[in-house]
Structure formats: C-alpha cells, structure tokens
Chains A and B, each alone.
Chain A
Amino acid sequence: MSLRILVGVKRVIDYAVKIRVKPDKSGVITEGVKHSMNPFDEIAIEEAVRMKEKKIAKEIVAFSCGPAQCQETLRTALAMGADRGIHVEVAGPQFDTLQPLHISKMLAQLAKDEQIDLIIVGKQAIDDDCNQTAQMTAALLDWPQATSASKIEAKDGSLQVVREIDGGLETIKVKLPTVVSADLRLNEPRYATLPNIMKAKKKPIKKLTPKDLGVDVSPRIEVVTVEEPPVRLAGAKVENVDMMVEKLKALGHA
C-alpha cells in the first residue's frame, strides 16, 4: 500500500485559554488570543505520520483554510512529519462565516486535484464542535467514511477501523479511497523537536484561493447570537433525603 493522505488541520483558540464573548454577542474574542492546532487534528496528523513510518503511506499533504496565520498551523503539521502544505487563504469577515460545508467542498476538490487516497480529519473542532466535515466530505466524494476512529489498520487493500460509538466500540471495514475522522484515543501525538521544526521551514506550502478550488464561501448559516452560559446559582443545603425530595417538589423538578 502506498497511500497519499490529505489531512485537514484547523487553527483554533488554544484549549487552555479562557474564552470571552464579545460585548456585542456576535462571537468570541479572538484577537490577541493564543491559537494552536485543533487537538483532534494533531491526532489526525500523528496517525498519518505513523502510517508513513509503517510504509502504508507515501506522502502526507496538510491543508488549512483561513487567514495568513494558518501558515503557522501548517508549519506545525510539517514539523510533525507532513511533507507539504496547502493553504487556502480566507480572511476577515469571510473567515468569520466559514462553515464545515465550505471546508468539505475544498477537501473534496483537493482530493481530486491531488489524487488523494485517504482523507483524515479531526472528528470535530474545539471551537464549533460541529462534527460535520468528515461526513459531508465523504458524501460529496461518494466515498465511504469511518468516523470517530480509535484504531486504524490497513488490511488487504482496505482499512479496518474501530469506531467509538455510544454503545461501545464498532469495527468496520472500509474500501479505499475513504474519509476517516480521528477520535481522542486514536493515538498520542508527538511533539515537534527542533530539527523537525527547522526542516519544516524548508518544506513547501502552496497558496490557493477558494476560487481556485471552485468553492463559494458565502455562508448558508447565520449566527444570531453568542452568549455565555448562565451563571451558576448558589445551591442550598438540606438535612436529609426527605427534605431534599420536598425541596425538589417545591421547585417543580419532581
């Protein structure tokens, strides 16, 4: 097997940052805030690199869509072991309304243009939690999909994937080409070391526009309002279980 893998990597607000909503409720504050690669996408890249090390894959192409700073995210992917990057530049208000459908269309077009055998993305992004991109991409390409993957094995020209589902684990076999989305327990991503980071600076990143891929990035969804969750009210202490039941009934919860 000698697969060419396309991995989508998203630049998101770092998981450790405290999110603050904009005063006008139009979104969250992103300016001046620390960003990094979506953790599920790190897992996706790691899996692709492990497949290359096992000689199942021959080339890894990392893709990111967004403003100029996405190049940093791509450099991280290159430092982890991707071979080259593709940056579709979308900035400003157009970027604010970017949605999974747009990304799926870009992934689908790139899969055709670059002769991709396998697309791996994180199962969801930690900013929008959509969990849609992998599924829509597969549908657009009419490819099979294996989402929430916690284990991937290459067997006899197809992939055997263990999926994390509500009831436990499900093992499926998918033919190639296919789309896979990475779940938390798929692997533990490596840290980039200095020589890899330096080498990543010399790996190529191709720049494209949505138009180059024939994708219209006008939004299909409008964000009406973004609000913080309600402040948690103080609780009350009761003496025993009977009193708790009484209290619950009084508050209309039982």
Chain B
Amino acid sequence: MRSLKFQARLLFHRIGISLLKRNASSLNSSHSKYWELIENYTVISQKHLTPEIKLKLITQECQAWNQPVEQNSPHPLGEPFWAFYWPGGQALSRYILDNPLIAKRKRVLDFGCGSGALSIAALKSGAKFSVANDIDTMAIAASQLNAQINAVELNVCEDNLIGSDCADFDLILVGDMLYDSALSDVIAAWLMKLRLAGKVILVGDPGRGPVGNSTLFANSLCHLAKYELDSFTKKDNYGFLQSHVFTLL
C-alpha cells in the first residue's frame, strides 16, 4: 500500500502534467496565425552571442530596420521587443548554454520571454520544460516560431505573472527586463520573494540604470559572468560593450 504522502505527490504530479497538457496540446503552434506577419518583417539571425540559436529578428537587412516611423503613429507590429535580441538576454542564454547543468531537468520560467531565446537555451540544455511568459501576444507567437525553427518544444503563458508564487518552477530566468525604473522595483521585490521560497533566480543585464548603479536588489545580487558583446550588438546598443549575468543570493 503506497504511503499517503506518495499518493499526494502523484496527484500533484498528475495535476501538473494536465496543466502542462493544456498548453502542450497545441505545442508550438497555438499562435501560428501571427507567423505570416512576423515572417514579413524579420529574417533568421545568428549574429549574436548564441549563434547556435536561430532567431527571427529585425536586422539591418530588413526594411523595418531602415524605414522611418512617424511620430505618433503605431507600427503594425506594435511594440516588437521580441524582434530584437537584447544584450541582457544574450548574456544569460550564453551562460545557460555554457553551463548546461544549471537548467538540466529544471522546471524553467522565462519571464518576459520576447523572442523565446532563453527558453530555447534552457530546453537545449535539458530542462524538464520551459514556459515562455510574455503579456505580448506577438512575443508568444515569435517564441513559438523560434522554438519550431530550433526544434524544441515550448510551453507558453500570456498572463502577467508578477507577484505569483511560481510553485511550478525551479529556475526563473530574467533577460534584460530591468530597464524601466518603476517596473524594476516591482519585479525586484517579487524576485526576492521567490528567492526566499527557494527558487533559483538568474538575471541577465548589460548594466542598465537600475542594475548598473543602484541597490535595486538590496545588495543581494551576485555577479556570475561577464561577456563581451559582438560587434553587431554593440552597434545596436550604443554605450554598452559588455553584458552580465547575476544570481540572487
């Protein structure tokens, strides 16, 4: 007769799987209706710190790169943060790929996933699963497209998870999300709470305002790695020459 504790664990495990299955049933293609729009504006790029990951991005060859945007008029792609591979995300992806044990068998949350590069890096390193989380529908679509191109299976979530207890996750990845000072305070407070609950928090950042020179994480940020940005990224991100990876102590 199996112990009650074991049965409880099995039950939670099954609930967990069914939650995943809700997302997994249309793995990688629930947002495929946006793919044509994304394809129109982007190309596959490997010119970044993680060339082993192919990403659909807006690069200098794209018309969208060079075309002026009129003040006050919205772009058809909305705010395509996902169409650029931010230096913070690049450094963290590089770190994950170079240190595969970090993500191996872990349940990963890719917070503010953008292009989904971090999820792809985690999955390639043997993560149990990775949830690409972004409140922008186009980012979810882009992440799914990139996951398909890189032959990995991605879970997604479009909810605003700030403040949630992340019970289903072991490893939280935060790639270049600390650029807005008001939002950074909220995110930092949430991440510190998650740390207290035993989650591993990894942050990639090129040294933007809050992370660069303030006590955003109450001095509990531990520097893990520094990467020199490649020439393309440097040109795109005037003023940044390196990008860093931190963990919360």
Contact = CB atoms under 8 A, between A and B. Distances in A.
Interface of A: 14, 34, 36-37, 76, 81, 83-84, 190-195, 197-199, 201-205, 207
B208 A194 contact: no
Given A193-B65, A193-B66, A202 B239 contact: no
A139 B68 CA distance: 38
Given A84-B209, A194-B58, 9 more contacts: A37-B71, A191-B69, A192-B68, A192-B69, A198-B80, A198-B81, A198-B83, A199-B84, A201-B81
A201 B179 contact: yes
Nearest to A84: B209
Given A194-B80, A198-B84, A201-B79, A83 B239 contact: yes
B58 A195 contact: yes
Given A192-B68, A194-B75, A195-B65, A204 B208 contact: yes
A36 B71 CA distance: 7
A199 B88 CA distance: 13
The majority secondary structure among interface residues of chain B is loop
Interface residues of B toward A: which range? 20 to 34
Interface in B205-249: 208-209, 236-239
Contacts of A193: 65-69
28 contacts: A36-B72, A81-B238, A84-B209, A190-B68, A191-B69, A191-B70, A192-B69, A193-B67, A193-B69, A194-B58, A194-B64, A194-B65, A194-B67, A194-B77, A194-B80, A194-B83, A195-B58, A197-B69, A198-B83, A198-B84, A199-B236, A199-B237, A201-B79, A202-B179, A202-B208, A203-B179, A204-B208, A205-B181
